[in-house]
Amino acid sequence: MKTYLDCIPCFFRQALETARATTDDENVHRQVLDSVASLIPELPLEVTPPEIAQQVYRIVADITGNRDPYHEEKWRANQVALSLYPRLREVVADSDDHLLTACKLAIAGNTIDLGANPKYADINSIIESALVSSLSIDDYHEFRDSINNCQRVLYLGDNAGEIVFDRLLIRALRQIKDFDIDFVVRERPIINDATLADAIYVSLDKVAGIVSSGSDAPATILSQCSPQMLRLYHSADIIIAKGQGNYESLSREHKNIFFFLKAKCQVVARLLGVSVGDAVLKRQSVAAPST
């Protein structure tokens, strides 16, 4: 998707919150905002929001000297999610449809997002809500059919903590079939997005191959991805794309992509035809539109 004017205030908010997470010096905060203000006019709205966000977070890192300001938050999110993992496995095991329940929980885990929602709610209440709520966009049966007819799955990850919920879904997938599954993480820290260190910490490498995107963008920007990642992308039968950022960066693609996300802002909610906070499992159109 392109960037909308409504996105611009969000870039400033994220920049300020990240600067404040790094230092209490208001002079530094002002320097960050001034630098972001000079950047915005140079970037066309035709680029995706994650591409602009990537530049914004680089500005914050360059000015503050801190390239991983949410390190402690990520560690805490991983710890909390891991403490819930045994319970989550029981919830899936006791459900009538293991895969559907794992899908709902994986989407619920997408709430752990310090970019879109720095004060995310209590994760226990999020889990309970996910189990009793319907998907606002529900392409689950298409997902299930696709899974039954594929061999290679590429799973595009999103945030620390959330990746424990992804591990749960991958486990459910492996109970259906012996897939080749590769899980994509960020090359370097940005916001609370998952990196290789996070994936190993939560033992995601025990259920999937872990590969770096080759980029520090807070989404999958194909033009920035490594050759290895692109080979996996083009050879995958199914792509699971977690989070709003991956929807923003890949919504123009025509691949067998299933977007798993919570709609976290008015712009994305409006484009999807849902409300902010709704859970979405959406299949991307595989065929390019006719011209």
Sheet of 180-185: strand order equals: 137-138, 279-283, 257-262, 238-242, 152-156, 180-185, 209-212
Q: How many Å apart are CA 222 and CA 213, to the nearest integer? A: 9
Tens of pLDDT, residues 175-215: 998 889 999 999 999 999 999 999 999 999 999 999 999 99
Q: How many Å apart are CA 107 and CA 269, to the nearest integer? A: 15
pLDDT at 117 over 60: no
Domain 7-64 has CATH 1.10.260: no
Q: What is the mean pLDDT of residues 244-262?
A: 96
pLDDT at 121 over 60: no
Strands (E), 121-251: 137-138, 152-156, 180-185, 209-212, 238-242
Q: Comparing 99-108, 126-135, 167-176, 263-272, which segment has the lowest mean pLDDT?
A: 126-135
The segment(s) of the chain belonging to CATH 1.10.8 are 7-64
On average, the pLDDT of the chain sits at 93
pLDDT at 227 over 80: yes
Residue 285's pLDDT is what? Answer: 77
Q: How many Å apart are CA 103 and CA 83, to the nearest integer? A: 19
pLDDT at 34 over 80: yes
Residue 129's pLDDT is what? Answer: 78
Do residues 152 and 165 lie in contact, with contact meaning Cβ atoms separated by under 8 Å?
no
Q: What is the mean pLDDT of residues 148-160?
A: 96
The C-alpha angle with vertex 249 and arms to 247 and 250, in degrees rounded to 5, equals 65
Tens of pLDDT, residues 50-74: 999 999 999 999 999 999 999 999 9
Domain 71-283 has CATH 3.40.50.150: no
- List the one residue out of 169, 178, 170 whose CA is nearest residue 101: 169
Residue 111's pLDDT is what? Answer: 83
Q: How many Å apart are CA 165 and CA 81, to the nearest integer? A: 8
Q: How many Å apart are CA 85 and CA 78, to the nearest integer? A: 10
Q: What is the mean pLDDT of residues 266-285?
A: 95
Q: How many Å apart are CA 278 and CA 137, to the nearest integer? A: 9
Residue 116's pLDDT is what? Answer: 52
Helix (H, G, I), strand (E, B) or coil at 280: strand
**C-alpha Rg value of the chain to the nearest Å:** 18
Residue 66's φ and ψ, nearest 5 degrees, are: -115, 115
Do residues 186 and 212 lie in contact, with contact meaning Cβ atoms separated by under 8 Å?
yes
pLDDT at 88 over 90: yes
- pTM here? 0.94
Indicate left, alpha or beta for 243 from its phi (over 0: left) and psi (-120 to 50: alpha): left
Residue 289's pLDDT is what? Answer: 54
Residue 283's φ and ψ, nearest 5 degrees, are: -90, 135
**Residue 221 banded pLDDT, cuts 50, 70, 90:** very high
The segment(s) of the chain belonging to CATH 3.40.50.10880 are 71-283
Residue 71's pLDDT is what? Answer: 95
Q: Comparing 14-23, 26-35, 126-135, 165-174, which segment has the lowest mean pLDDT?
A: 126-135
Which helix H or strand E contains 237, and what residues bound it? none
**Residue 123 banded pLDDT, cuts 50, 70, 90:** low
